[in-house]
Amino acid sequence: MGDEAVNKNNKKQRNILELVWDWFASVKVGISLIVILALGSALGTIYPQVNAIPHPNPNFYYKDTYGTLGDLYHKFGLSNMYTSWWFLTLVLLLGISLVIVSIDRGVPLYKSLKNQPVARKVIALRADRLYTNKETATAADLTALGQALQKRRYKIRTVDGALLAEKGRLPRFGAYVIHAGLIVIILGVFARLIPGWYYDEMVWLKEDESKTISEVGFTVKNTGFQLEYYEGGDRVKKYETDLEVYEGAQKVAEKHLIVNEPLTYNNTLVFQNSFDPTPMFKNGKVEMIDRKTEQSLGTFDINFIDPQETYTVGPYQLKLTNYFPDIKVDAEKGVYTSSNEPYNPGLSFEISGPNLAPTQQWMMPTAPFVEQMLGQEYPFTLKMVDVSLFNMTGLLVHRDLGIPVVYTGCAITLYGLVLVFYFQHRRIWARLEDGVLHIGANTNKNWLGFAKEFNKAVEPLGATAAVLKSKLAKQPENQPEPPHTTESETGREGTQA
């Protein structure tokens, strides 16, 4: 009784396994997965994904820009769907299907083609779409046929009284080569999940600024950024960075980065990806002029990135009491800075000196009108006589060790495509029986071209030219079917008129 139960269990297990296998091996399921994947991908294009929006806070961006629909889009996770579990599961299912389909059909095909008999029954040959024969034939004719076909690059296998000429068996597996290529690509993409295999972040560097990126193990430094526009100033012509790479204190690499030409170090690429179009203030030379006498009192230098606290001009002391790198003046909110970067510096000085009660004075190089408005009673004019601006460079640090895998997958896929669409599998069988040489043939596509080649080979032997039977012609009754393992053998893969 124990055995019975065990057997029942095995049977059940096999059935589930079989069900799963057959499900994945079904073409219908495969096509459905393809269609769902296509539709799903389209969903992600309705609104930009989170990695493409200009605003750092997605929770507000979608609602603000696209209204309720946009808000729902974001709340349902559609704004970041290509790494979502359901999308990746779809891709995974497709990958599994590709593997199972290829094994399910590819392995039997391989076995059957490997073990196919050389000698086929005459009845079967007669039923082939291309068939002809030669009366009063001899073994010499068989040999001659073999030689003629060999000249046309067919591989010949012979047994006593029969031969099989075959070429292009590999293209027959083209579909599975394509599938294999796609599997490799999917693996290459999923390889991004392996820790250390993938890193992709922007690094913004000001002039002479350096940042250490621990994930890739080195530091990048911007030692010079050049930006040029075409005449008219609205289209950028070039943006390039002089980049240095350090490990610790030691410089290990440097390159002049141009778009499309990254620096490679430690399996990581640093791209000149973008730049900040708004210039920042670097240094400036300020001239202090006495308002009443209109005399220049001298100049002092300011570093806008890290300004010092006190300055001396002639007999006067200037103390920087407040510094707003990106100053905004608002009726309700008051005076504040909207960022940490010196886009619009606003400086508040306390000036003291001989015969002068300490007086507060604003300097706003980018807002001269505001400065003027506030400074009607200022005893001095602070005039910027020289300034150097710079733009921040945007570098993309990118590591993806899966890239060679993906490229290999692409190459395999393309090779498979060529095999499927530009080559064909052709076979010609010949059987000498009772003094008659029967010749039948089969291909998986391009019957017309094959018929031409077939006739060119058989006619010199004295056989009548074969006429290509219509693909709708019924098989005669009681005839064994020509050897085939898949439907594709019956020539459904397209005919040429």
Partner 1 sequence: MAKTAGSTRVLTILVLLVAAVGIIFAVVKFNNKEVVVLNKGEAAPAFTLQTLDGNQASLADYKGKVVLLNFWATWCEPCRDEMPALQQAYDKYKEQGLVVVAANLDENNITIKGFINQYQLNFPILIDKGREVALDRYKVGPIPTTFIIDKNGVLQSIEQTPLTLMMIEDKIKPLL
Partner 2 sequence: MNLLDVSGFLYGTAFFAYLAASILYVIGVTGRKIKTQTPGAANRWTNWGYRMILAGMLAHAGAITTRGIYGGYIPVSNMFEYMSFWAFTIILAYVVINAFYKLPSLGAFVAPVGLLVLAYASVFPQDHKPLIPALQSYWLNIHVTTAALGEGILTISFAAGLMYLLRTTDLTKGSRSAKFLEFVMFLFLALLAFVVTASAFAGAGYSHQMFADTPQEVTYKMPPIVGPTGTELGSQGSLAGIPLPLFNAPSWMNGNNASVQFNTIIWTLLSVAVLYLVLRLLARQPLSAVVAKWVRNLDPDMLDELSYRGVAIGYPVFTLGALVFAMIWAQEAWGSYWSWDPKETWALITWLYYTAYLHLRLRHGWEGAKSAWMAVAGFVVIMFLLVGVNLIISGLHSYAT
Which one of 216-224, 368-376, 477-485, 489-497 is the stretch in contact with partner 2 (CB under 8 A)? 489-497
Which one of 164-172, 234-242, 319-327, 364-372 is the stretch in contact with partner 1 (CB under 8 A)? 319-327
CA 458 to chain centre: 51
Question: Other CB atoms closer than 10 Å to residue 448's CB: what's the count?
Answer: 10
Asked whether position 435 contacts partner 2 by CB under 8 A, the answer is no
Residue 421 binding: pick among partner 2, partner 1, none (C-beta 5-8 Å cut-off by kind): partner 2
Asked whether position 306 contacts partner 1 by CB under 8 A, the answer is yes
Task: For the sheet with 380-390, list strands across it.
Answer: 296-303, 280-290, 380-390
Asked whether position 345 contacts partner 1 by CB under 8 A, the answer is no
Q: Can you tell me the distance from the alpha carbon of 313 to that of 310, in angstroms, rounded to the nearest whole number? A: 10
One of 320, 384, 389, 410 touching partner 1 (CB under 8 A) = 320
Residue 17 binding: pick among partner 2, partner 1, none (C-beta 5-8 Å cut-off by kind): partner 1
Pick the closer one to partner 2 by CB: 178 or 461.
178
Query: How many residues of this chain bind partner 2 (CB under 8 A)?
Result: 60
Asked whether position 452 contacts partner 1 by CB under 8 A, the answer is no
Asked whether position 46 contacts partner 1 by CB under 8 A, the answer is no
Task: Name the residue among 133, 70, 30 with its Cα closest to residue 462.
Answer: 133
Specify whether the CB–CB gap between 41 and 94 falls below 8 A.
Answer: no
One of 23, 76, 82, 85 touching partner 1 (CB under 8 A) = 85
One of 6, 17, 19, 31 touching partner 2 (CB under 8 A) = 31
For 205-261, the DSSP string reads E-TT-EEEETTTTEEEEEEEEEEEE-TTSSSEEEEEEEEEEEETTEEEEEEEEBTTB
Structure tokens at 206: 């000001």
Task: Name the residue among 143, 151, 106, 180 with its Cα closest to residue 417.
Answer: 180
Asked whether position 103 contacts partner 1 by CB under 8 A, the answer is yes
Q: Can you tell me the distance from the alpha carbon of 173 to that of 106, in angstroms, rounded to the nearest whole number? A: 7
Q: Which of residues 247-276 bind partner 2 (CB under 8 A)?
A: 258-260, 262, 269, 271-273
Specify whether the CB–CB gap between 181 and 405 falls below 8 A.
Answer: no
Asked whether position 88 contacts partner 1 by CB under 8 A, the answer is yes
Asked whether position 325 contacts partner 1 by CB under 8 A, the answer is yes
Structure tokens at 409: 């997958």
Pick the closer one to partner 2 by CB: 71 or 141.
71
Residue 107 binding: pick among partner 2, partner 1, none (C-beta 5-8 Å cut-off by kind): partner 1
Residues in the chain: 497
Roughly what angle, to the nearest 10 degrees, separates helices 27-43 and 85-101?
Answer: 150
Residue 372 binding: pick among partner 2, partner 1, none (C-beta 5-8 Å cut-off by kind): none
Asked whether position 474 contacts partner 2 by CB under 8 A, the answer is no
User: Minimum CB separation from partner 2 for residue 92, in Å?
Assistant: 16
Q: Can you tell me the distance from the alpha carbon of 300 to that of 313, in angstroms, rounded to the nearest whole number? A: 7
Structure tokens at 351: 């000036």
User: Minimum CB separation from partner 2 for residue 67, in Å?
Assistant: 5
Pick the closer one to partner 1 by CB: 80 or 495.
80
Cβ contacts of 60 within 8 Å, gap of 6 or more: none
Question: Other CB atoms closer than 10 Å to residue 253's CB: what's the count?
Answer: 16
Question: Other CB atoms closer than 10 Å to residue 259's CB: what's the count?
Answer: 13
Pick the closer one to partner 2 by CB: 209 or 493.
493
Residue 259 binding: pick among partner 1, partner 2, none (C-beta 5-8 Å cut-off by kind): partner 2
User: Minimum CB separation from partner 2 for residue 31, in Å?
Assistant: 5
One of 57, 68, 136, 376 touching partner 2 (CB under 8 A) = 68
Asked whether position 348 contacts partner 1 by CB under 8 A, the answer is yes
346 forms beta bridges with 324
User: Minimum CB separation from partner 2 for residue 239, in Å?
Assistant: 6
Q: What is the DSSP letter of 344?
A: B
* Per-residue buried b or exposed e for 151-161, using 16+ beta carbons within 10 Å of the residue's own CB: eeebebeeeee
Residue 243 binding: pick among partner 2, partner 1, none (C-beta 5-8 Å cut-off by kind): none
Asked whether position 421 contacts partner 2 by CB under 8 A, the answer is yes
Specify whether the CB–CB gap between 168 and 445 falls below 8 A.
Answer: no
**Residues found near partner 1 in the complex (CB under 8 A):** 14, 17-18, 20-21, 57, 83-85, 88-89, 92, 96, 99-100, 103-104, 107-108, 111-112, 190, 193-194, 306-307, 309, 320-326, 333, 335-340, 348, 485
